[in-house]
Amino acid sequence: MEAGFARLNSLTIIQTTQGLAEYLLAKLPNTRSAGVVIGHDARHNSSKFAQLAAAVFESRDITVWWYEDLVHTPLVPYAVKVKKAAAGIMITASHNPARDNGYKVYNLHGCQIISPDDHNIASSIMQNLEPTVWNPQGSSLRKPILDTMTASYYSSIISRLNAAEAETLPVPFVYTPMHGVGLRFMASAVELASPKVIARMTVVDQQAQPNPDFPTVKYPNPEEAGALNLAMHTADQANVPLVLANDPDADRFAVAEKVDGVWHQFTGDQVGILLAYWVFSSNTSSATRDDVMLTTAVSSQMLSFVADAEGFSVHETLTGFKWLGKNTQDLQGEGKRVHFAYEEALGYMFPDVVYDKDGIAAAVVFLCACSSWGSPWAKLQELYRKYGYFVTTNTYWRSPSKQKTEAVFQRFENLDDPFPSRLCHRKVLRWRNLTTGYDSATENNIADLPKDPNSRMTTCWLEGSKLDDGVRFTVRTSGTEPKIKGERKTFGDG
């Protein structure tokens, strides 16, 4: 956030909202009555930016469904779905550093926007750059929805729990919202699920209240090394073996458990498999191929192995919940029953709640599952023994510039033509570049997933060794930060 047309500030918020408003008015005849949902988190300037966005819509006689206090991100797409709104806006930068903020747009289906909407909105913004509103004062078109939407949202979460297990929820745990907005929503959801368990929730005091400077962590991202150290310390002091965490806008969910004196921080793949198995075992007594779960091209293949063994289907998408949400709705339109979706970056989606990742819903469902499992780490080892062992190793490098990122990927992609025969002393079995749409494994070399020229992602499948049955390695850019990510997935039968 700073001055400049390529930065987030009051002017660019107004310009962006003017372009979005004009696009909606041209595309959807009922935009004014359907309205837009607006929410914001606790970051610097989030409240001001939300007020400015609301004023732009009101100046065009568009109803604003207004969250009048801090909310976690999933409440915006939830309200879009319930209110049948034309769009939703959440002012947040999720788990990015403190200097950042963002403007997240949902379409009328409650999904993050994808092409061609994103390009058309960008074009509309460029046609509506002259500011027409500077006064963020509210009007009669601004309708407060916090109480009604949160009550409805909690009911949606509770309705998918096993009532008997939710009633017991015996697992004590430590919780951190990581200086974000999650505590209010986590505490309310847990208490409604089981009044008994709220007394067994220990909150990390130093991180309990919203603070846009995130003073106790270098990066407010539960994936980052050290981000859960304070929560683990709190758990050690309280003699509690389980830590649950949300990122600052509470759309992501992280878990750590102390086993035999050692803390294990679960990967997103591990939490995803545990939740997927719980959803499967709780809701699909006789699964068919019309029962579907989704994951992404950078997540573990373990879910596909479980699906093959148990009789349900798994669909793989491009990275990001904009694709998981869109594909979920497409599958539902075909009559499929979509139960769950996840991505390895700590995101978990329950389509009957929202079409986006939801850290609060994931936490409550996870606690309900733990009431049956006891130890989630022990349950994970049981699943490994049953379906095979899958190991995820993730790393990243912060890039100083877009030009440097491009240079890195060009060098990697040009190792050989059309791709290298070996990497790390292993034979390359398959090479897929979703930037160009190339896939060596298909008959016409067209990738099995849509190409995305605006992102960088190359995946290669490597032959097995004496220690494993194969490796899938992906190099890609981050969708939210200047990072180059490396993700290695290894599997074997143990």
Residue 463: which of 491, 435, 485 has the closest Cα? 491
Residue 185: which of 236, 142, 246 has the closest Cα? 246
Cβ distance 204 to 174 under 8 Å? yes
What are the tokens at 232?
């683990």
Catalytic residue chosen out of the listed positions 33, 46, 94, 285: 94
The answer to whether the Cα torsion of 264, 224, 187, 156 is positive or negative is negative
Number of helices (H) and strands (E) in the chain: give both, helices first: 15, 21
Alpha-carbon distances, residue 255 vs 243, 362, 376, 381, 440 (angstroms): 6, 11, 9, 15, 37
Region of 388 please: left (phi>0), alpha (psi -120 to 50) or beta. Answer: left
- Reduced to 3 states (helix: H, G, I; strand: E, B; else coil), residue 186 is helix
Residue type, 63: T
Consecutive H or E run containing 476: strand 471-477
> Known catalytic residue: 304?
no
Cβ distance 113 to 267 under 8 Å? no
Task: Transcribe 392-424 into DSSP letters.
Answer: EEEEEEE-S-HHHHHHHHHHHHTSSSS--SEET
Region of 371 please: left (phi>0), alpha (psi -120 to 50) or beta. Answer: alpha
- Reduced to 3 states (helix: H, G, I; strand: E, B; else coil), residue 297 is coil
- Reduced to 3 states (helix: H, G, I; strand: E, B; else coil), residue 169 is coil
What are the tokens at 167?
């009633």
- Residues β-bridged to residue 295: 316
Alpha-carbon distances, residue 246 vs 64, 178, 201, 220, 233 (angstroms): 28, 7, 14, 9, 17
The answer to whether the Cα torsion of 101, 103, 109, 113 is positive or negative is negative
Q: Can you point out the beta strands (E) in 139-183?
A: 142-144, 173-176
Task: Transcribe 13-73 into DSSP letters.
Answer: HHHHHHHHHHHHHHH-TTHHHH-EEEEE-SSTTHHHHHHHHHHHHHHTT--EEE--S---T
Q: What is the chain's alpha carbon radius of gyration, rounded to the nearest angstrom?
A: 22
Alpha-carbon distances, residue 164 vs 156, 359, 369, 373 (angstroms): 17, 23, 11, 14
Residue type, 108: L
Active site residues: 94
